Structure 1
Amino acid sequence: MSEQNSGSGLSQEELDDLVASSDTGGRNPSNKAILKAMAIIAFLWALFQVWIASPIPYEVGFGVFSSREARSIHLGLALILCFMAYPAFKRSPRDHIPVSDWILLIAGAFCAFYLFVADLAIVGEIFGDRLSDRPNNPNTFDIVVFCVGIFCLFEATRRSLGPPLAILGILFLLYTYFGPYFPGLLQWKGASFGAMAYHQWLSQSGVFGIALGVSTDLVFLFVLFGALLDKAGAGSYFIKVAFSLMGHLRGGPAKAAVVASGMTGLISGSSIANVVTTGTFTIPMMKRVGFNNEKAGAVEVASSVNGQIMPPVMGAAAFLMVEYVNIPYFDVVKHAFLPAIISYIALVYIVHLEAMKQDMQALPRATVAKPLKLQLLSFLMSAAMFVAIGGGVAWLSEAYLALQSAPSLMIAAAVALAAIIVLCKAISASASEGTKAAVFSTFTMVVGYCVVGGVFLMYLLDTLEQGLDGAGMGVLLPWVVGALLILVYVFLVRICATYPDLEPDDPNSEIVSLPLPKPTIMSGLHFLLPVLLLIWMLMVERKSPSLSAFWAVALMMFILVTQRSLFAFFRGETGGQIGQGVRDLVDGMISGARNMIGIGIATAAAGVIVGAVSQTGIGSALADLVELLSQGQLILILIWTAVLSLILGMGLPTTANYIVVSSLLAPVVVALGQQNGLVVPLIAVHLFVFYFGIMADVTPPVGLASFAAAAVSGGDPIKTGFVAFFYSMRTALLPFLFIFNTDLLLIDVGPVEAVLVFIVATAAMLIFTAGFQGYFFARSRIYESVLLILVAFSLFRPGFWMDMIVEPTTSVPPGSIVEQFERAEPGTELRLLVDGLDSVGEPLSFTAIVEVPEGATGEERIANFGLELIIDGNDVTIDNVTFDSPAEAQGVFDWDQKIVDVMVASDQPPKELIWIPAIVVLILVALLQSRRQKTLAAA
């Protein structure tokens, strides 16, 4: 890597400082003792987090921390490192820590540790009572701790994240105390200063609430896992693999940037770090093949920011969703998987269209072309493999159980996979390195080996578990599995050692030699093992995210210490490498801890807002305000939510933005959806908020990722931001689509249907991209772009047009409700229009969606739904609602509510029939553009 990036005017040192100032702190003390102290504190923080996540404390009965104690220590260490690493102002000294910062450091740390210290037994002996002995009864010293602590927290927030989140937190505190003086809808009775202090600082409802708990229990380990992977060399490996697979295509460096950023997003939660890490290599190469400064930077921004929507980490939001939506982590990943994949595929297509529009040429690769049929066969096998895996990844464990119960089916599946691998090996052997056939076959072979190995491993572990349990030695299972993992790791390193180490090319040099796929992929196979272990533990074993991340981190720690020595051993090199491996491990743990400073501070500061919402009830007031602004229309509330997320995201990090907006508006969207007769799952709303939160990293004028990319490319940051936003329109479209079409989130979708959803949704997104980019087979005319966007919409939401042709429901008199329940098939839907009052006595009209339960008669089915009705002709009054019944879950109450309309499903044709005219229009546009392209080529 050259010291100076071409065209940017920034050295590598300056780029590193750009990342440090936003992610890890820009201060670099000249005093070596201070530097060593910072490193020791960061290392101890990482060690503490690994310790509390491990099962060891529970096994030995020592060092077990409650969630309250762990959060206190977590925030205390984050504040210490923040005041040591982040200077107060741009002009503040960076070569030493001023006295004022030492004072803030000590005060902030004491106030954070207070929750831990104040519950120790010795405190009770000295002061007569402990904090836990006087709930909601703070004394004077407690209030002083709150005042000092909240000041230090907001100052740390301002330094590490900028002023907006700190200002927002202060405003919510003012609202909590001065509630009676606010006008209209926002007015409330207010809270005493003591009550506010206890709620915000001394309880687990404010600063030390769920958000900080997620940061403590989950996020730290995943960030540490990514830091250790990067320190081991996986970041460089992912970039080189992406270039080996896609660098030789038109616009190849840009396509490789998208793929590399997607893979890096698996281990990184920072958009800016992702931009600088991959961008210093990809942006100069994109410029070489024809992208201008702004477009090269925009491609990197769009792909890097999208790394945060890629499961399993998702920039920490996945773990917050587990707590806020109250669903298993497995389900969060399953729901988020398809939109993320589709978004990345669409971005690769955007790059391809840009390359076609500008007639860009691919980077050269010295290969001998092979017959087209060879390339086609390899591509089809790869496509078949990935469609099968893409449709079945979320149901892997269920699929395995099904195969277990049908041995013949398991044998057939194994034979089919083995046949694909054998064919790929034959193609790879007959195709020259670097051809498309070799690329497809090599990649498919690796995936095939992973799948076959995974199924075999599942079978082996199941057999081992049964055997050890039968012999009364079940306690040995973790040790046996650990030994197997080490053997697999050593075997993979032995394979990798036969290939040369990856040496990064200088993207600014005159000639860049694109890496060949097979040696590139094979040189770092051992990096995939901890990633696969993490996914295995989360998705197959269904272990908790915390325990899964612990075992993945433990394996990464072992890899970091041993990989250098193992490579040297298998290559016959002399000299021990254990010492360097230990230094790599320590550096990786320190990097992981420093990467967590901003996230720890952000979740604590966002907890102030969440605490204020729970204490003041401002959520209901905002709901009324938003409903007034949107006039009860769901699409308007979604637009308002998107705009608010974008505005807040200009000053808040993604995690804090998600916490704030989801706390305020997610329940409102669900309620308005119900009033409009639309079931909006809570996970869909949370993903909607999250998607627009990450868009703020792109959106000018404050998109920090765009500024980082412009610093690398030498382009204008505002222009880069606008182009990146234009490229990211597909990401902005997806949230609206999965609100109205929850199939995209794989909600109540089977494996076969999931494959169809994936194919259709991907095709629709690519068509939308072509329409929005103004290029399909040739440059599009305006009417062609409009037609393409309409075709895409029709593929995404065929029900919209079908509902206009044939009404989906038919209204029947409410007096016939018993008859309609009896006539309907169990599991089908009825809709009840309910008028009356809500839980606080306000007028309410909403649609209750009934999934008809089992029952012999209509009366029994109504009772099973949870309703007792008084029917007088067409006057149907709700007399009682069963506690914890489906009716109560739909928001039905038993006071002054009446069923004024019953809607039953009509004989509507399948909505998929709309696809036929849409495909016809698509073919016509394609023919028009192909003919025009041929005419231009002939001229």
Structure 2
Amino acid sequence: MTDTSSNTGGLSESELEDLVASTDTGGRSPDNRSIAFFMAAVALVWSVWQIWIASPLPYLIETGVFSGREARPIHLGFAIFLAFLAYPAFKNSPRHRIPVADWVLAIVGSLCALYIFIADSALVDGLLGTRLSDRPGNPNNFDIVVASVGIVMLLEATRRALGPPLMVVAIVFLGYTFLGPYAPGFLAWKGASFGAVADHQWLSSEGVFGIALGVSTGLVFLFVLFGALLDKAGAGNYFIKVAFSLMGHMRGGPAKAAVVASGMTGLISGSSIANVVTTGTFTIPMMKRVGFSSEKSGAVEVASSVNGQIMPPVMGAAAFLMVEYVDISYFEVVKHAFIPAIISYIALVYIVHLEALKKNMQGLPRAVEAKPAKLALLSMGITLSSILILGGGVYYLFELFKALETNFMQLLAVLVLIALELGLYFGVKRNITDEQRLLGIISTGAIVLCNAVIVAFGVFFLIGFITQMAGPTLAPWIIGALIITTYVVLVSICAKVPDLVMDDPNAPIEALPEPKPTILAGLHFLLPVAVLIWCLMIERLSPELSAFWAVALMIFILLTQRPLFAFFRQESQQGRIRQGALELIEGLIAGARNMIGIGIATAAAGIIVGTVSQTGVGLVLAELVEFLSQGQILLMLIFTAILSLILGMGLPTTANYIVVSSLLAPVIVSLGQQNGLIVPLIAVHLFVFYFGIMADVTPPVGLASFAAAAVSGGDPIRTGFVAFFYSLRTAILPFLFIFNTELLLIDVTPLEGVLVFIVATAAMLLFTAGTQGFFVSKSKVWESVLLILIAFTLFRPGFWMDMLVPPYEIKEPAQFEEALGNVKTGSEIRLIVLGEDDIGDPISITAILPVESDGTGAERLEALGLELLVDGDEVIIDNAAFDSVSQNAGLDFDQKIKQVLIPADQPAKELLYIPALLLLGFVIVMQRRRNGAALSQVMAS
């Protein structure tokens, strides 16, 4: 590759590699071959050990089984050891040799981490006295010394691997545990002793070795390793080439290809910065070539790369942390996160399209011109639909399919899908102009989705048939053989077309490659991704086991793809197996080195989590936000979003989510309940997660913006501001799904879910058009305002309906029992009660009580586990039974009922779509008239 600095104003290839290395894998590369080999061997051993503990083999042979308490110290020991060897202490520190001091720090730091494992083994009996687990909360002096040194080593490793932000935040929280008595006002707390802090943070499972590090050990490593192996096999280049071949010919095509390529890379990547540099090296110069400025081309890449972190199934590894923190299944996390992520990406493609229309940009020419109908059928809709499928859309439709009771109805559903597909195909098999292309894209996406659903159903029936006929013992072997057979068939197809070569992004591109051979060149890369998603979403295997089988398949592919390609092409086999083995080893090493920063980050974030659990600082933040918002829910959410942005600055995605969710998620839940807003926990966690990752975009710290500016040669601050403007749709979504949880597919039927997706997509496109100032033509200010208003109405029609017809009738507390007896079964009553918080201050909370049984008011009260004490007009809760509906809703002894809210008969909120669509039609008519007038003037002149 040539030096990009001369062509794009950016960095050279070596400088870009150093940028990624310094943020992800470590910037040190020793000249001494023995030391370099040793570092690689340690990383290789780490990967092999992680695969071993995730596999079912230790349990089958009953040897080498590690519990979570044993595995976490080993995991952190590897990470700290490699962090001190791979990351230089300072910018001017040697990069081609490892100083003696770093060797000492690496050994001491890893031994401190391993102490938790060693101190609980048989080795300590008689040496250190009793085992560590036999004296919980009672550390001896040696324990405290090890914990203190270990925390210092971890903080230094954090500074090296991740920069100062996370280290500084962790030090501030550590300082708060000691200086609590000296803190001013409501920040004050009683403080903790040195030994208590050391024990809580290092020796227990509440701090460093808590849930976050456990998720990194059991889940995150395998998914990062899977991505590294997939990239080493060539999938990263394949995704980029496919995106360009399908979309490069469209208006602003390289920018649209950048969005889709970054989305596909984000499926397997846990780093926004690596995503920016990996895809941006190719996409940014091409975007500049078709007319985008340096800042806008960098901003498009930043917005699409950061969005990759919210894309299921991996979500920058945060999905697996949500499973632990929210206590719901992985399938539920993906289901809830799916629609916001998809519509955000669709809106970003639309932003690029509008930018291209504004400047009348053209796409890149094709090497071989295809028929217009083919271009329409093989363009952006295919790629977007592929992302939709990979993200879980097929499996959500699959849930609808499973609800059909009879085989006849299932068969009928498949036939309807086939008929729909044929109708769509013949409907769009004609020349499609630029103005009609959106229709072609939507139809194409529907066709591909129909195909995918039919294939998914077919595979499901086949696996079900095999399981039924072969039994649980033989079925896995038969299914495995089918997967291998499918892989061999796919490789035979891929071998018929040339390999995809990594292009020089700065070399002139005279024509785009043909889509068909480009797509066929890497079909086998889709198989492990399909296996991973199938195991997670259909078989509902644990994420650890699903990732293990995907990694196992990737290992098999890396070892065999070279020999198989040579066999089908009738080429020499010499060196092919060795080449595959070397690529496998390189992939295992790359996966481990990619995990250094994540392992360190989750451990350091554990210090913050430990501080929250030890000091109760979360209540302090709740008081601060409540004071600033003065009880206004929208202000409360805005301040929480700002705090999430501040706390997320400079942190990788995983650590980012741990910090913001630990500190701010409880704030929204508690303050929301006090102010009448009952928000599901998953919605709260997605809210803080979205704004946490927005810190990668937002100046002045937005690391992804700096990385993109380094590639484009643009100004990093301006790039960050443009990227933030492009990301407004991502920033607005969390506010919307807090108030309208249907966007997260909460309490909706499958059919309602499809409708929500269609309406939400249309609303997001209108919001995008409003903020970009361009729709059918350039918008006037009042038209942009109307478009945003229409989009808001489609997103949350209930806002206006609640103003027209109140959703609840207010009853006096003394009428509670009577009202409870009159409401319909299945409805929900809201109680506003006065009580006290954990420290005795008076608070008002809103409790939701579902009415699930028939009967009188007294019988329903008993079913809710609620006993009341009525004194005239005053009603006090005398008892809320243990683990009852009322106790789980937040009700407790001695609370006073202030108001009773009974559901009122309210028209369907969807009726407000009608005036919104009429307004939309008015805007379209006005803009088309303006377009026609402008065209007439041009023709007259």
**Structure-2-length-normalised TM-score:** 0.95
- The corresponding residue for 1:193 is 194
* Aligned match of 1:859: 858
Q: Which amino acid in the other structure matches residue 517 of structure 2? A: P
Task: Find the partner of 1:513 among 511, 514, 522.
Answer: 511
The corresponding residue for 1:84 is 85
- The answer to whether the Cα contact below 8 Å between 1:650 and 1:703 also exists between their aligned partners in 2 is yes
8 Å contact from structure 2 (residues 743, 756) kept in 1? yes
Alpha-carbon distance in structure 2 between the residues aligned to 1:391 and 1:182: 48
Within 5 Å, give how 1:249-288 maps onto structure 2. Answer: 249-288=250-289
Partner in structure 2 of residue 352 of structure 1:
353
1:694 aligns with 2:693: yes
* Mean Cα deviation higher: 839-848 or 585-594: 839-848
Distance (Å, rounded) in 2 between the aligned partners of 1:382 and 1:225: 22
SS of the equivalent of 1:596 reads helix
Distance 1:668 1:515, change over 3 A: same
Instruction: State the shift of 1:756 in Å.
Output: 0.9
- Kindly indicate whether the alpha-carbon contact (under 8 Å) linking 1:207 and 1:608 is maintained by their aligned counterparts in 2: yes
Q: CA deviation at 1:4?
A: 2.8
Matches within 5 A, 1:359-758: 359-365=360-366, 370=371, 393-395=394-396, 398-403=399-404, 405-418=405-418, 450-469=452-471, 474-576=472-574, 577-758=576-757
Counterpart CA distance in 1 for 2:394 and 2:547 is 19
Q: Could you tell me how far apart the structure 2 residues matched to 1:517 and 1:371 are? A: 13
Question: Could you tell me how far apart the structure 2 residues matched to 1:372 and 1:61 are?
Answer: 60
Indicate which of 933, 936, 941 corresponds to 1:935.
933
Match in the other structure for 1:148: 149
State the identity %. 65
Give the number of aligned pairs: 932
Q: Distance in 2 between matches of 1:4 and 1:839?
A: 59
Shift of 1:938: 2.7
Mapped partners of 2:717, 2:379: distance in 1 = 43
- After superposition, the CA RMSD in angstroms is 2.7
Aligned to 1:780: 779
Greater CA drift, 9-18 or 344-353: 9-18
Counterpart secondary structure, 2:748: coil
Match of 1:807 in 2: 806
> Structure 1 residue 294: deviation in Å?
0.7
**Secondary structure of the corresponding residue to residue 833 of structure 1:** strand
Q: CA deviation at 1:385?
A: 11
Give distance in 1, aligned partners of 2:491 and 2:703: 39
**2 CA distance for matches of 1:786 and 1:648?**
32
Q: Please show how residues 762-781 of structure 1 align to structure 2 within 5 Å.
A: 762-781=761-780
The match for 2:164 is: 163
> What is the deviation of 1:310?
0.4
Secondary structure of 1:621 counterpart: helix
Correspondence for 2:924: 926
Deviates further, 221-230 or 660-669: 660-669
CA contact (8 A) 2:367 2:511 kept: no
Is the CA contact (8 Å cut-off) linking 2:267 and 2:312 kept in structure 1? yes
Distance (Å, rounded) in 2 between the aligned partners of 1:81 and 1:390: 33
- The CA deviation at 1:657 is 2.2
Higher mean alpha-carbon deviation, 389-398 vs 514-523, is at 389-398
Deviation at 1:266, TM superposition (A): 0.4
Cα deviation 1:849-903 (Å, max 9, x = unaligned): 22212032111112112211123443222111111112111211112x2222212
1:257 and 1:817 map into 2 onto residues whose CA distance is 58
Cα separation, partners in 2 of 1:518 and 1:421, compared to 1, 3 Å: farther
Given the superposition, is the C-alpha separation of residues 374 and 88 from structure 1 closer, same or farther in structure 2, using an over 3 Å criterion?
closer
Q: Please give the secondary structure, in 1, of the residue aligned with 2:855.
A: coil
2:707 partner letter: A
Query: Contact 1:442/1:518 (CA < 8 Å) preserved in 2?
Result: no
Distance change (3 Å), C-alpha of 1:407 and 1:154: same
Unmatched tracts of structure 2, length 5 or more? none
Report Cα offsets for 1:345-367 as digits up to 9, x if no partner: 00000000100111111212266
Cα distance, 1:380–1:457 mapped onto 2, change above 3 Å:
closer
- Please state how far the C-alpha of 1:374 moved relative to its aligned partner: 10
Q: Is the CA contact (8 Å cut-off) linking 1:258 and 1:299 kept in structure 2?
A: yes
Q: Which amino acid aligns with 1:851?
A: P
Query: Which secondary structure state, in structure 1, belongs to the residue aligned with residue 696 of structure 2?
Result: coil
Q: Deviations over 1:222-261 (max 9, x none)?
A: 0000000001111111111111221111011100100010
CA shift at 1:622, angstroms?
2.3
- Preserved contact between residue 306 and residue 344 of structure 1 (Cα < 8 Å): yes
Partner of 2:847: 848
SS of corresponding position for 2:127: helix
Cα gap change, 1:27/1:369 in structure 2, threshold over 3 Å: closer, same or farther? Answer: closer
Q: Secondary structure at the match of 1:125?
A: coil
Q: Which residue of 1 aligns with 2:789?
A: 790
Q: Partners of 2:577 and 2:426 in 1: how far apart? A: 40
Give the whole-Å Cα distance in 1 for the aligned partners of 2:406 and 2:720: 54
For the Cα contact (< 8 Å) 2:229–2:588, is it kept in 1?
A: yes
User: Counterpart of 1:925 in structure 2: which amino acid?
Assistant: V
**Counterpart Cα distance in 1 of 2:23 and 2:67:** 32
Q: Which residue does 1:824 correspond to in 2?
A: 823
Q: Hey, what's the Cα distance between the residues in 1 that align with 2:195 and 2:721?
A: 47
Whole-Å separation in 2 of the counterparts to 1:120 and 1:141? 16
1:408 aligned partner, one-letter code: F
* Alignment partners' CA distance in 2, 1:684 and 1:309: 13
- d(CA) in 2 for partners of 1:389 and 1:262? 11
Q: Give the superposition deviation at 1:381.
A: 11
CA contact (8 A) 2:16 2:277 kept: yes
**What code does the residue aligned with 1:464 have?**
I
1:807-854 deviations in Å (ceiling 9; x for gaps): 221212222222211111111122222123345432121222222120
Q: What is the deviation of 1:679?
A: 1.5
Superposition map of 1:236-255 within 5 A: 236-255=237-256
Question: C-alpha separation between the residues in 2 aligned to 1:811 and 1:237?
Answer: 60
State the TM-score, normalizing by the size of structure 1: 0.95
For residues 385 and 240 of structure 2, the distance between their equivalents in structure 1, rounded to whole angstroms, comes to: 25
Structure 2 contact 398–457 (Cα < 8 Å) conserved: no
| Greater Cα shift, 575-584 or 350-359 | 575-584
- Give the Cα–Cα distance (whole angstroms) in 1 for the partners of residues 389 and 244 of structure 2: 25
Q: 1:421 to 1:799 in 2, by over 3 A?
A: closer
Of stretches 844-853 and 206-215 in structure 1, the one that deviates more from structure 2 is 844-853
Q: 1:907 to 1:127 in 2, by over 3 A?
A: closer
Deviations 1:423-455 (A, max 9, x none): 8999999999x9989999998776555433332
Name the SS of the counterpart of 1:127 in structure 2.
coil
Q: Deviations over 1:125-164 (max 9, x none)?
A: 3333211121111111111101111111000001111112
Change (3 A) 1:11 1:885: same
Q: Call closer, same or farther: CA 1:445–1:823 in 2, change over 3 Å.
A: closer
CA distance in structure 2 between the aligned counterparts of 1:501 and 1:818, rounded to whole angstroms: 74
Q: CA deviation at 1:741?
A: 0.6
- Taking the aligned partners of 2:273 and 2:128, their CA distance within structure 1 comes to 48
Tell me the CA shift for residue 178 of structure 1.
2.5
- Separation of aligned partners in 2, 1:501 and 1:491: 17
Q: Does 1:99 align with 2:100?
A: yes
**CA gap 1:442/1:814 in 2 versus in 1, 3 angstroms:** closer
1:511 is paired with a residue whose SS is coil
| Partner Cα separation in structure 2 for residue 431 and residue 805 of structure 1 | 47
